[in-house]
A and B are shown apart, each in its own frame.
Chain A
């Protein structure tokens, strides 16, 4: 990789701005609310962009590009089906309870609505999860920097071995994230998410522009890819007929309902961004504002992956019998996507049928390197680094809040002064980052352990939405019901995974570790159905247990349950400012996109 001074200047300037924002905000961090909830004072558009960008870590950007190359436009379902409806729902129906109850975190809401044990379960699993997510983000970044040889030249100049690239990347990114979160708390994290959002747009828009120009626009792309790659709903009636390997019901129920509502409506990482808004109306508008750029992001992150696949595979001149011929280079893969190289053997990896595997994760980075000359290349790489770092920072801010309010203040040290908890939050930022570094190195050493942990997290998350849905809309549901429901839902998820296996996979981490009762056409289908089972088991168990346990006094549930809470008054707002109408507009737009790219 040939980076020149101008690329480094851009990268350096970005870091100056990031830390500068932290330094500037330091003086305003006077109370714990300032630090953990940005003083509940940010405008809706800032929270909205952060709400979307917090989820737009680079693992997501790289992953969506990879899926674009692997599955084509069907990847957009993760946006149009798997995000937009849930974002509208959380804004219109759930935010009144999150914001109105004055809960400072999602686990705290569970404490108010249900009981202490439900909160503890959620807080502890969430805290552990954020640390690992942040570590995985850090690991992925260091790995990418290593693969692209970004730091090789500077390291060589300093006389250091190239193998330090990994350590140096982790050290620098951790230091910067620690710096700005420690100084400016959630405000700092949110502001940097907004910066990162615009950077990603600035870096990826020229990439899409050049890529489309090269392949002859959308119509040119259509002619070079299989038809299912450019039609998101083609073949969805049968799991075997489409690239995702899922049928429409599994897609809509699994991805569109249980997984997506579970993530966008209950994950404190994103909900925290809306809680930072200055008023109830702004908090409700936050996810709706976020939904608008979210809807159009497939054009920026999925499209480059598809273009990478459609481009001609690089060729090299080879002399055969004295005649120079152009041949596909060995290990060239397809389009700009190289073959995956097995780390252990150094040879191209093959699947179980002996076919070589493509390294889809390199689709986006290779597109950047292919089209971008020095200058804008610096901007593109900075955008990637920015999204890695804000992926970490988002998790760190969610962690320090849940740790301080829901674990430390609740179980370790009650009744301290506000200053005390503010300092604890800053301290938690430090050890949160340290734990993340530990997690990053664990990921580097034990790849399987990480896969296993992510599987466990998926089991824990799968039933969550059932608990919140019943909690907010059914006043009869009880703490015992919620707690047992969650445990049973998680168990159901694990059992379902243990009893089913995606087609062609080995028994083990992919499933079937109890017995193989059912084969799914793809891993994605298995994931979706795991979530569906977890949701329904949690739902049913919560209802049944709630009926046999004592309900809480209705007076205690005012502001926490739909039927007992006054609807927020929005008569004074013009129609386009009202969340309900905004939500309607967003849904119609998403529907139109689905119809255009059906």
Chain B
């Protein structure tokens, strides 16, 4: 297909991950009273970032593969 959905997923979630992680690290720590003392922004942010990067890696691997397959076809 024209657009591999893993790219937008990967970009969006790694972006969200960076934002939440940064906010969790440098933001006001008092707000975590409501989340039982857990810095949920940091934890979720790191998780989202890893997920986003994995999606991007899969998408890159996928497009490299389809390019490798497309070339011999084009010659034939």
Q: Is the CB of B34 within 8 A of A373?
A: yes
Task: For B24, list chain A residues within 8 Å (CB).
Answer: 375
B3 at the interface (CB under 8 A from A): yes
Judge whether B69 is part of the interface by a CB distance below 8 angstroms. no
| Residues of chain B within 8 A of A375, CB atoms compared | 19-20, 23-24, 27, 31, 40-41
Contact between B1 and A202 (Cβ–Cβ < 8 Å)? no
- A25 contacts the other chain (Cβ, under 8 Å)? yes
Instruction: List the A side residues contacting B5 at CB < 8 Å.
Output: 46, 191, 194-195
Q: Is the CB of A376 within 8 A of B44?
A: yes
Across-interface contacts of A521 in B (CB, < 8 A): none
Known contacts A17-B12, A371-B35, A373-B31, A24 near B43 by CB under 8 Å: no
- Asked whether B56 is an interface residue with its Cβ less than 8 Å from the other chain, the reply is no
A61-69, A206-214, A249-257 - interface stretch: A206-214
8 Å CB contact of B31 from A38, A46, A191, A374: A374
Among the stretches A6-14, A105-113, A121-129, A146-154, the one at the interface with B is A6-14
Q: Which of A17, A24, A214, A379 contacts B20 (CB 8 A)?
A: A379
Q: Evaluate whether A24 and B35 lie within 8 angstroms (CB atoms) in the complex, with A202-B44, A375-B20, A376-B20 already known.
A: no
Are B43 and A9 in touch, CB under 8 angstroms? no
Chain A residue at minimum C-beta to C-beta distance from B39: A373
Whether B40 contacts A206 by the Cβ 8 Å rule is: yes
B 33-65 to A, binary, CB cutoff 8 A, 1 in contact else 0: 011101011011001100100000000000000
Bound CA span A370–B32, Å: 11
A89: interface (CB < 8 Å): no
B16 touches A372 (CB 8 A): no
Are A210 and B12 within 8 A (Cβ)?
A: no
Q: Give chain A interface residues in 516-569, CB to chain B under 8 Å.
A: none
Cβ distance A175 to chain B, nearest Cβ, rounded Å: 20
Q: Are B9 and A194 in contact (CB under 8 A)?
A: yes
The count of residues in chain B whose C-beta lies closer than 8 Å to any C-beta of chain A is: 29
- Let me know if A25 and B44 touch, CB within 8 A: no
Which residues of chain B are within 8 angstroms of A371 by Cβ–Cβ distance?
Answer: 34-36, 40
Contacts of B9 in A (CB 8 A): 194-195, 198
| Contact in complex: A373, B19 (CB < 8 Å) | no
The answer to the question of A20 belonging to the interface, with a C-beta cut-off of 8 Å to chain B, is yes
Chain B residue with Cβ nearest A276:
B1
> Looking at the complex, which one of A24, A202, A372 makes contact with B13 (CB distance below 8 Å)?
A202
Determine if A597 is an interface residue (Cβ-Cβ < 8 Å).
no
Minimum C-beta distance from B42 to chain A (A): 9
Give residues of chain B (1-33) contacting chain A, Cβ–Cβ below 8 Å: 1-3, 5, 8-9, 11-13, 15-16, 19-20, 23-24, 27, 31-32
Contacts of B16 in A (CB 8 A): 10, 13, 202, 379
| Complex contacts, B11 vs chain A, CB 8 Å | 17
* Number of interface residues, chain A, beta carbon within 8 A: 36
**Complex alpha-carbon distance, A17 and B55, angstroms:** 16
| Cα-based distance from A43 to B19 in the complex (angstroms) | 31
Is A469 an interface residue, CB under 8 A from the partner? Answer: no
CA distance A13 to B38 in the complex (A): 25
Q: Which of A1-42 contact B (CB under 8 A)?
A: 6, 9-10, 13-14, 17, 20-21, 24-25, 27-28, 38-39, 41-42
B44 touches A210 (CB 8 A): no
Q: Determine the chain A residues whose CB is within 8 A of the CB of B35 once the complex forms.
A: 210, 371-373, 376
CA distance A306 to B60 in the complex (A): 41
* Docked pose: A195 CA to B16 CA in angstroms: 13
In the assembled complex, which residues on chain B have CB atoms less than 8 Å from the CB atom of A214?
Answer: 36
CB closest residue in chain B, given A13? B15
Asked if B34 contacts A370 (CB within 8 A), the reply is yes
Residues of A370-421 whose CB lies within 8 A of B: 370-376, 379
Contact status B44-A198, CB under 8 Å:
no
Residues from chain B with Cβ under 8 Å of A169 in the complex:
none
Q: Cβ of A133 < 8 Å from any Cβ of B?
A: no
A55 interface residue, CB < 8 Å from B?
Answer: no
**Mind listing 11 A-B residue pairs with CB under 8 Å?**
A13-B12, A20-B8, A21-B3, A21-B8, A206-B40, A213-B38, A371-B35, A372-B34, A373-B34, A375-B31, A375-B41
**Given A6-B23, A372-B35, A373-B41, 9 other A-B contacts at CB below 8 A?**
A17-B11, A194-B5, A198-B51, A206-B43, A210-B35, A370-B34, A373-B31, A373-B35, A375-B31
Point out residues on A near B: beta carbons under 8 Å.
6, 9-10, 13-14, 17, 20-21, 24-25, 27-28, 38-39, 41-43, 46, 187, 191, 194-195, 198, 202, 206, 210, 213-214, 370-376, 379
Instruction: Show the binding face of B for A, using Cβ within 8 Å.
Output: 1-3, 5, 8-9, 11-13, 15-16, 19-20, 23-24, 27, 31-32, 34-36, 38, 40-41, 43-44, 47-48, 51
Which 7 residue pairs spanning A and B have beta carbons closest together? A373-B31, A375-B41, A28-B2, A17-B12, A375-B23, A206-B44, A191-B5
